[in-house]
Structure 1
Amino acid sequence: MSPVEMDEESVVTYEVRGSVAVVTLNRPRYRNAQNSKMTYALDAAFSRAVDDDDVKVIVLAGNGEHFSGGHDIGTPGRDIDQTFERKAVIWWDHTDKQGVDARIARESEVYLGMCRRWREIPKPVIAMVQGACIAGGLMLAWCCDFIVAAEDAFFADPVVRMGIPGVEYFAHPWVMNPRAAKEFLYTGDRFDAERALRLGMVNHVVPREDLESATFALAERISAMPRFGLALTKKAVNQAEDLQGMRSGMDSVFGLHHAAHSHNAEVGADSLAGMDARAMRDAAAKA
């Protein structure tokens, strides 16, 4: 077993347990809110796991009480104006641009582009979800092949409160069903783990104390399959989803997403309609 790489600056940690690589979001103080530093650390960890021939399966986890509270919209580590490395898409730097020119460049890379890149990882990826899996957290879980959820897990995409039609990786109608997706978005309500299971959004729901053991038991079973066979099977299922319109649907909604950002900036305080994490939480509490 390789040691866990963890210190105060490690927003993502990496560990290998036998044939399983464990990639862990490590901003527990902020519910593992995703800044660009975390996004690129995730990409590096996933690439490391792909390049290790001894790794057969990857587990994506979140340190602390929650898997992920979503995109970073207000912590001291928010880095929205920093440059990006342009690994997922070929686009210009955004930091000296304005308006949609800046937003679409950044979000094409670190949100939609990265999640699409990770969806195509040629090894099975299991999301191990406890507590909150909100907005950007959904994107991370949904680009994995499996989701094993603790009984205390809950899922929500409340960004319609900002006037925005869902997160950038718009997989909602495919990971559940269109009517459930509309309720999920229109209300901003939390779907608990059992409802997510009934809708087909997660594979298994287990007691919190069994989450790790159940996830690794599944990972070990998958590890016994031929590596190339797993890669081809993953590609086959992903292609079937895309033939059902998933990729083109995301492209169309991405445009609507940025129309909403632009509308907010034109008529209100900023592209997020003046909302931050606290305001989103308070609005949900009043619902």
Structure 2
Amino acid sequence: MPAERPAGQSAGESAGQPAPRPVRYEVSGSVAYVTMNRPEYRNAQNSAMTYALDSAFYRAADDADVKAVVLAGAGEHFSAGHDIGTPERDAHLPFERRAGLWWDHCDRRGAESRFARESEVYLGMCRRWRELPKPVIASVQGACVAGGLMLAWVCDLIVASEDAFFADPVVRMGIPGVEYFAHPWVMPPRIAKEFLFTGERMSARRAYEVGMVNRVVPRDELAAATRDLADRVGEMPRLGLALTKRAVNQAEDLQGLHAGMDSVFGLHHLAHAHNAETAADPLGGMDVRAMKEAGTR
């Protein structure tokens, strides 16, 4: 494999950066490997990671030799979700907006701030990544919780290790699921309701049974199994892959995926506003510890 370079790092930058970049990028054959790189925080997604992911996906899209992309997480877990409390949480910082035309959230208050930021970094980014005209395969181990689900669900295929688990415990915040509300499309509606109503973990095997996951393999075989699948996809014609992905995505949108997300995004922000008025904060007083405990059920 070629030497890897963090997404967004130029060839002239030193490889010995004191703070590692939040996303690693490398190419092997016809496959680009995009790896979330905050393992000490279970790959919790701060804005820096989100925009680094965006840069990595753009890079893969622009590379004519890349036919498929693998999205993975460094360390023991794929992603524990949105960053709601690490020392590097950067929700208050401005970033160059890419996913929409909403204003900078930093100099606004209340719903003007929250709706603008989440339209950009959560719903907007995920929708755009779903449209990457190359197949994306998620390689999931350990926790895939809340915001982690959004990253897995924008991918076209999911390979999970036997120890992987999936959960969306944000109903405990009084919020009807994460911002990229794909639940009733990636699993049957009654399963989606149970998944949300209880906030309990869904095992990789159960996720496979309900059609959310393509393959389940032992943990020590995850990287090889994902690489094998990506290499097989990468043997297909680039345009054929792009058009086929577009065809299936269009079918999902005709089944209401795009409009459904818009409607639930409004409910999501109604819940934030309710929490801001009646609870300790827009998250209903659920901090990192409380959410971690909820996700272990």
| Aligned-pair CA distance for 1:55 | 0.8
1:28-47 alpha-carbon deviations (Å, 9 max, x no partner): 00000000000000000111
Q: TM-score, normalised by structure 2?
A: 0.95
- Unpaired runs of at least 5, structure 1: none
Is 1:33–2:44 an aligned residue pair?
A: yes
* Distance in 2 (alpha carbons) for counterparts of 1:226 and 1:257: 40
Q: Where in structure 2 are the equivalents of 1:258-273 lying within 5 Å?
A: 258-273=269-284
Letter aligned with residue 95 of structure 2: F
Give the corresponding residue for 2:2. Answer: 2
Is 1:233–2:256 an aligned residue pair?
A: no
Equivalent of 1:64 in 60, 69, 75:
75
Secondary structure of the 1:49 match is helix
Give the corresponding residue for 1:50. Answer: 61
Letter aligned with residue 270 of structure 2: A
| Aligned-pair CA distance for 1:101 | 0.4
Preserved CA contact (<8 Å) 1:13 1:23: yes
| Aligned-pair CA distance for 1:119 | 0.1
Give the corresponding residue for 2:89. Answer: 78
- Unpaired runs of at least 5, structure 2: 7-16
Q: Size of the alignment, in residue pairs? A: 286
| Aligned-pair CA distance for 1:284 | 4.7
Preserved CA contact (<8 Å) 1:133 1:154: yes
Secondary structure of the 1:71 match is coil
* Distance in 2 (alpha carbons) for counterparts of 1:67 and 1:142: 13
Is 1:135–2:146 an aligned residue pair?
A: yes
1:218-273 alpha-carbon deviations (Å, 9 max, x no partner): 11111111100100000000000000000000000000000000000001111001
Q: Where in structure 2 are the equivalents of 1:173-192 lying within 5 Å?
A: 173-192=184-203
* Distance in 2 (alpha carbons) for counterparts of 1:44 and 1:280: 29
Secondary structure of the 1:238 match is helix
Is 1:109–2:113 an aligned residue pair?
A: no
Give the corresponding residue for 2:137. Answer: 126
Preserved CA contact (<8 Å) 2:199 2:294: no
Preserved CA contact (<8 Å) 2:3 2:26: yes
Preserved CA contact (<8 Å) 2:22 2:52: yes
Equivalent of 2:290 in 267, 279, 285:
279
Preserved CA contact (<8 Å) 1:165 1:256: yes
Give the corresponding residue for 2:156. Answer: 145
Secondary structure of the 1:95 match is helix
* Distance in 1 (alpha carbons) for counterparts of 2:169 and 2:35: 24
Q: Calculate the aligned-residue CA RMSD, in Å.
A: 1.0
Q: TM-score, normalised by structure 1?
A: 0.98
Preserved CA contact (<8 Å) 1:84 1:106: no
Report % sequence identity. 71
Is 1:89–2:100 an aligned residue pair?
A: yes
* Distance in 1 (alpha carbons) for counterparts of 2:294 and 2:248: 38
Letter aligned with residue 19 of structure 1: S
Equivalent of 1:99 in 106, 110, 126:
110
Letter aligned with residue 38 of structure 2: R
